A and B are shown apart, each in its own frame.
Chain A
Amino acid sequence: MNPEIKKVEFSERAQKEIREILTRYPDKRSALLPVLNLAQAEFGYISEDVMVMIAQLLDLTPPKVYEVLTFYTLLNQKPVGKHLIQLCRTLQCALAGSENILDHLQQKLGIRAGETTADGLFTLRTVECLASCGTAPAMQINGVYYENLTREKVDRVLDELKRGVQPVAKPMGAN
């Protein structure tokens, strides 16, 4: 074992959930994606320590975890800001002005897409189609959709997040 790997553990609640997840599949490996999603919710990103812990939990080698982790774009290998802004850049949002929204977000946050603000509050990313083409332009922050975006709406959302308002996931077009 690499001596740099530190021992980490899931919370009691997560461990209980993992036991339940394992009952859904005929093999342990199928629990990998659900467990990675759970780990990200718990630790914010999947560090090498977490990767090794998950490998042991599911009887996999760490590279098997790594190869899956690096394939899926929603899984973070590095820490991200408290609020991860994922703005859709694909055609249907672009036709509705997502490029202007990106300019505005970059200017407002003082960072480029792919970067995190110095206070660690926001990470800005562009992503591919979020299935919000009828309510475009759209972005997702920590799993919550914000649609029919305008500059003013972006300002409002960022202000709310800064003030610590807890957003709630809502149906298409409601946010």
Chain B
Amino acid sequence: MKYELVLHKNLKTPGYTGSLADYERHGGYLAIRKAFKEFTPAQLIDLVKRSGLRGRGGAGFPAGMKWDFLPKDPAVTKYLCCNADESEPGTFKDRELIEQDPHQMIEGMVLAACAIGAKVGYIYIRGEFVYGAQVLERALAEAYRAGYLGKNVLGSKTDIDIHLHRGAGAYICGEETALLESIEGKRGLPRNKPPFPAIHGLYGKPTVINNVETLSNLPHIVNRGAEWFTSIGSPPKSPGMRIFSVSGHVNRPGNYEVPMGITLRELIFEHAGGVRDNKKIKAIIPGGASAAFLTDGSLDVKLDFEAIAQVGSMLGSGGVTVMNEETCMVRTALNLMEFFAHETCGKCSPCREGSSWLVQMMRRIEHGHGKMEDLDQLVRICGGIAGKTVCAFGDAEVAPILSTLKHWRSEYEYHIKEKKCLVGNRDGKLVVIGGH
């Protein structure tokens, strides 16, 4: 192993089951003992602020700052939500953290609840994660029995209850205000902001929503200190380890925990084993389906928030998808556009209508009925969506089309002129790996 694992340390240990006994044997729940003894809530917030931990869900917002926005009055009811709705195509890191080391995340939730003064927390887990929900139910029951949750946590005056709330199939519920609506028993429609959840969140109360991986970092920051955290990764702005989910045409797809700031090249070639059949890389999505496509010219870009933003994409959820030289970019963009058109919640007209227009136009082009003027029209429609919606979904859904048009416009033109594909399989399918 090239780097010292942190979040993956337990789950990569042979025989580790994720049970409470296993977690405690590996130093679990020491962080909350330490926090109860040594830190006031304000000091906990300060520690996480100094660590520079940024959200691992997609937006990368500094976690400590998010907490600090909440009112400090203990008389005000506050809520903590764990976003376990992992639905961003290309991302499967939270699923593994939930399934293999649930107590790490629960301990993180106890720390976050202490810091912000929340007595109740909800884990919003996507409905598809049936096994993950079973694991969490079991882990929560263990934590209650051991006194890490419930009344008077560890004999203190603090009460913390955590409930599991299962979704029922909706990508948009990973958007934090849609998640709150969903817990409240409504359609998952994102709310207008401001007010932000820190002031007006779940049931109108101040609320923090943190991602599974973000929360899983907290016990380590409490145990090892802010200075340790800022000494790894890509400080000052992107410190810490990061779990990247690598998928697509690589030899070893999977989750890799590495320091923030290693290059795409290192991640793909050293960790994920390089490209299958030694083919060339054509395209890389660096941060989930909402992130703009990059070419192989970006292989030496560092995987940190700033460096990826500088080349016009985003680190997002850490879902890295690799496509080889035989992949048709028109068909790829169409596939993701169909995803977004299926998942739009329908609240904002530009997104609701625009996504289906874009799908129709992309289908025309893919099937040889496109016109050259469609390409400008695609860009115009995208411009009418991005920045004009209540949530970031609008910006996300235009990324695949705009970025593939930018880098591979000739493929679109070939589809329109020749009414066929230059690179794809003859049967019109996306390039398949492994001969399935």
Q: How far is the CB of B56 from chain A (nearest CB, A)?
A: 15
Q: How far is the CB of B353 from chain A (nearest CB, A)?
A: 18
Contact of A95 among B87, B165, B169, B248 (CB under 8 A): B248
Which A residues are in CB contact (< 8 Å) with B126?
131
A40 nearest CB neighbor, chain B only: B168
Which B residues are in CB contact (< 8 Å) with A72?
127, 167-170, 188
A52-90 to B contact mask, C-beta < 8 Å, 1/0: 000000100000000110011111000000000000011
Q: Which 7 A-B pairs have the closest CB atoms?
A: A74-B169, A72-B168, A32-B185, A73-B169, A133-B247, A97-B436, A143-B130
**A91, B289: Cβ atoms closer than 8 Å:** yes
Stretch in A5-13, A112-120, A144-152 with 4+ CB within 8 Å of B: A144-152
**A131, B95: Cβ atoms closer than 8 Å:** yes
B68 is an interface residue with CB less than 8 A from chain A: no
**A171, B166: Cβ atoms closer than 8 Å:** no
B163 is an interface residue with CB less than 8 A from chain A: yes
B183 is an interface residue with CB less than 8 A from chain A: yes
Band of interface residues on A: 35 or more
Which A residues are in CB contact (< 8 Å) with B167?
33, 72, 74
Contact of B245 among A73, A134, A170 (CB under 8 A): A134
Q: How far is the CB of A52 from chain B (nearest CB, A)?
A: 16
Stretch in B150-158, B374-382, B425-433 with 4+ CB within 8 Å of A: B425-433
A74–B127 CA distance with the chains assembled, in angstroms: 7
Stretch in B229-237, B249-257, B308-316, B406-414 with 4+ CB within 8 Å of A: B249-257
**B434, A96: Cβ atoms closer than 8 Å:** yes
**A145, B88: Cβ atoms closer than 8 Å:** no
Which B residues are in CB contact (< 8 Å) with A89?
335, 338
Q: How far is the CB of B232 from chain A (nearest CB, A)?
A: 24
B95-111 to A contact mask, C-beta < 8 Å, 1/0: 11001100000000000
A19–B71 CA distance with the chains assembled, in angstroms: 33
Beyond known contacts A68-B185, A99-B430: 18 more, CB 8 A cutoff: A24-B165, A30-B185, A33-B166, A33-B168, A33-B183, A72-B167, A72-B168, A75-B168, A91-B90, A92-B89, A94-B335, A99-B432, A100-B436, A101-B436, A136-B253, A150-B436, A151-B436, A170-B131
Which residues of B are at the interface with A, using a C-beta cutoff of 8 A? 86-92, 94-96, 99-100, 126-131, 134, 161, 163, 165-171, 182-188, 203, 245-249, 253-255, 289, 319, 321, 323, 327, 332, 335-336, 338-339, 342-343, 345, 429-434, 436
A132 is an interface residue with CB less than 8 A from chain B: yes
**A92, B248: Cβ atoms closer than 8 Å:** yes
Q: A91-B336, A92-B248 are contacts. A133–B130 as well, Cβ < 8 Å?
A: no
Contact of A26 among B129, B203, B323 (CB under 8 A): B203
Q: How far is the CB of B401 from chain A (nearest CB, A)?
A: 13
Of A25, A32, A128, chain B has the most CB atoms within 10 Å of the CB of A128
A172–B88 CA distance with the chains assembled, in angstroms: 17
Q: A37-B127, A91-B89 are contacts. A135–B253 as well, Cβ < 8 Å?
A: yes
